[in-house]
Every structure is written in structure tokens, then in C-alpha cells.
């Protein structure tokens, strides 16, 4: 016992974590952070304004891909020059896309909200190929679950389904409140409940058997949360509404996983003068953020790096 007490005292003196048997270790909390100085509309610059009705966006290899609900087109925008070209036609509408590199180029996975289907477009600029065409009800968010499956949120169905790359759809998680954007970090999944301020952002872990664990609160008290993005800095960024204005906020997930955070603990990143909902929230590896208000042609950008 004297050895145990000495060891315990040494751990406390060194500031090392102590795990009590039978209890789960608390999620990591980052303490050496500098508060973010909130930005305003004046800090945003227009990148392009030539996409008629943009919605979901994805950044890959220096290019921004956005789907236009006005002419059912995916556009490719050069992040440096803002040169905009038609990439492919035939995609109706998507709020979130998933882009991935492949051995031959890249893929864009598109949960088409209007057509209730999951489609894929390759770098060969083929027409969107339908992958899943059943059991989708207002597909909104998408994240890769593993090498063979995606998680797709159904805004109208109040659920998340698991979709294979061959198009097989399985029930995964229900009883959500108009789930919109999704984000994933290894086996931790974050979901935006667009239809509930009380359940604004929730999280769960995927078990070793590939099932959804207990759904827990992450952030409450936010109105109409839509997009979720895990930034290169490991913060969780999200769009929501303050009255009629669109706002981008962020939290450090480890701060909120144990007991949940309220809206008062959210760092406001950008308080815009744009009407909510903001759409297409995307952050590049160099911490450039792209966003717009839904279906407006102006796509804005801003550098999030602060000294």
C-alpha cells in the first residue's frame, strides 16, 4: 500500500492522468489554446460570383468543387486563380459532398437531396453514376465509415444509414432531429440536428462491431445547425443561425464530450451579414475557409490563421 500511495503521489506531481478501474478515461482537453478573435463580414473576400446557385462544396488538391442547383452542374474552381470551369452536368442538388483521391485520380460522392440517391463522379468527368437509389429520404451529410461504407444522413427521415460502395443501404441510427451535416474523426461521429436547438450537435462512437454507440450531447442551444467540418487544426467548425444571420462557430470536441457544451461556450469564428443558412462550409489544408449563403452566387473566402 505504501508503494501504491507513493506511485499515486508521483503521478499527481508529474501531472499525469490517473485512470480508476471501472471508469472510462475522460476525453482529451486542450488547455494551451489562444482564443479566436471573431471575424465579421468585412473580413471576408469574394472568391467568385459566377456560380448561379451554389450549394455543397468540397476542397481537393487546390480545387474547390461546388454543385449548382440552378443548372444542375458541378463546377471546378481553382483556389489560387478563381478560374471556374464546368466539371460535369447532371447533379441536381447536394448540401455536402465527399471527395477522395484514388489510384487513377479522384471521386466525388454526392448525396443528391432532390433525387434521393447517392451518386459518384470520377475525375474522368463522367455523368453522375447512381450508386444507391432506395431507402434515402432527403440525403444530406456524408462521411466515410470505413474503406467500403459511408454514413449518410437523411434530413427528412430523421436517421443515418450505412451505404456500401455497391449501393446497399442499411439502417444505422434513428430518432434524430432532421440530421444535416456529418463529420467523423476515426470512430467518433458528429451529427448536426438541424431541427432541434436542444440537440443541436450530438456525437457517438462506432463500436468494434460497426454499430452506433450511445448518442450524447456535444453542443446545445444553437439554431438550425447545418454544416459540420473538422478543420486541419482539429476544431469542429459549424454553421448555424443567430436570428436571420448566418454564423460560423467552433468548439474543441474534447471540451464538450464529457458533459456537453452550451452556446455560450462556442467560439464565434465569423459573424456574417449573410442570411442563414450558410452553405458549403469547407476548410482547405492551409486553413482557408470557403462559405456562402445558400443559393447565392457569391462564394467567400477567409484565412483562419491568426498570430
**What is the model's pLDDT at position 32?**
62
Q: Name the average pLDDT for the chain.
A: 91
pLDDT at residue 13 is higher than 70: no
**What is the model's pLDDT at position 33?**
81
Give the pLDDT band (50/70/90) at residue 7. very low
Tell me what the mean pLDDT of segment 195-205 comes to.
98
DSSP the chain: -HHHHHHHHHHHHHT-----TTSPPPPP---S-PPP--EEGGG-EEEE---SSEEEEEEETTEEEEEETTTTEEEEEETTT--EEEEEE-----S--EEEE-SSSEEEEEEETTTTEEEEEETT-PPPEEEE-SS-SSEEEEEE-SSSEEEEEETTTTEEEEEETT--EEEEE---SSEEEEEEETTEEEEEETT-STTSEEEEEB-TTS-B---EEEEES-BS---EEE-TTSPEEEEEEETTEEEEEEE-HHHHTTT-EEGGGPEEEEEEEEESPEEEEEE-TT-EEEEEETT-S-EEEEE----
Domains of the chain, residue spans: 34-303
Tell me what the mean pLDDT of segment 192-197 comes to.
98
Give the pLDDT band (50/70/90) at residue 307. confident
pLDDT one-digit tens code per residue, 226-238: 999 999 999 999 9
**What is the model's pLDDT at position 30?**
52
pTM higher than the cut 0.75: yes
Tell me what the mean pLDDT of segment 106-122 comes to.
98
Give 34-303's CATH code, choosing from 3.90.105.10, 3.10.20.70, 2.170.130.10, 2.120.10.30.
Answer: 2.120.10.30
pLDDT at residue 279 is higher than 70: yes
Tell me what the mean pLDDT of segment 63-71 comes to.
96
Amino acid at each position: 500500500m505504501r508503494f501504491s500511495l507513493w506511485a499515486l503521489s508521483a503521478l499527481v506531481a508529474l501531472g499525469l492522468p490517473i485512470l480508476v478501474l471501472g471508469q472510462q478515461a475522460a476525453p482529451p482537453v486542450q488547455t494551451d489554446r489562444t482564443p479566436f478573435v471573431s471575424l465579421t463580414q468585412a473580413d471576408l473576400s469574394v472568391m467568385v460570383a459566377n456560380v448561379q446557385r451554389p450549394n455543397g462544396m468540397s476542397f481537393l488538391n487546390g480545387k474547390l468543387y461546388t454543385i449548382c442547383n440552378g443548372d444542375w452542374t458541378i463546377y471546378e474552381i481553382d483556389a489560387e486563380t478563381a478560374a471556374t470551369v464546368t466539371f460535369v452536368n447532371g447533379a441536381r442538388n447536394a448540401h455536402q459532398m465527399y471527395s477522395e483521391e484514388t489510384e487513377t485520380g479522384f471521386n466525388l460522392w454526392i448525396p443528391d437531396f432532390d433525387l434521393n440517391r447517392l451518386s459518384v463522379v470520377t475525375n474522368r468527368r463522367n455523368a453522375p453514376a447512381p450508386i444507391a437509389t432506395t431507402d434515402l429520404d432527403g440525403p444530406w451529410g456524408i462521411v466515410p465509415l470505413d474503406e467500403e461504407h459511408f454514413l449518410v444522413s437523411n434530413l427528412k427521415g430523421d436517421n443515418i444509414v450505412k451505404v456500401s460502395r455497391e449501393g446497399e443501404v442499411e439502417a444505422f441510427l434513428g430518432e434524430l432531429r432532421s440530421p444535416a451535416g456529418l463529420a467523423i474523426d476515426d470512430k467518433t461521429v458528429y451529427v448536426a440536428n438541424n431541427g432541434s436547438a436542444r440537440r443541436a450537435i450530438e456525437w457517438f462512437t462506432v463500436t468494434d462491431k460497426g454499430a452506433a454507440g450511445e448518442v450524447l450531447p456535444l453542443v446545445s442551444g444553437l439554431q438550425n445547425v447545418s454544416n459540420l467540418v473538422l478543420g486541419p487544426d482539429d476544431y469542429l467548425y459549424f454553421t448555424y443561425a443567430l436570428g436571420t444571420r448566418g454564423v460560423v462557430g467552433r468548439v474543441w470536441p474534447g471540451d464538450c464530450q464529457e458533459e456537453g457544451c452550451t452556446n455560450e461556450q462556442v467560439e464565434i469564428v465569423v459573424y456574417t451579414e449573410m442570411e442563414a443558412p450558410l452553405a458549403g462550409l469547407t476548410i482547405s489544408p492551409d486553413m482557408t475557409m470557403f462559405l456562402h449563403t445558400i443559393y447565392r452566387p457569391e462564394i467567400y473566402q477567409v484565412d483562419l490563421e491568426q498570430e
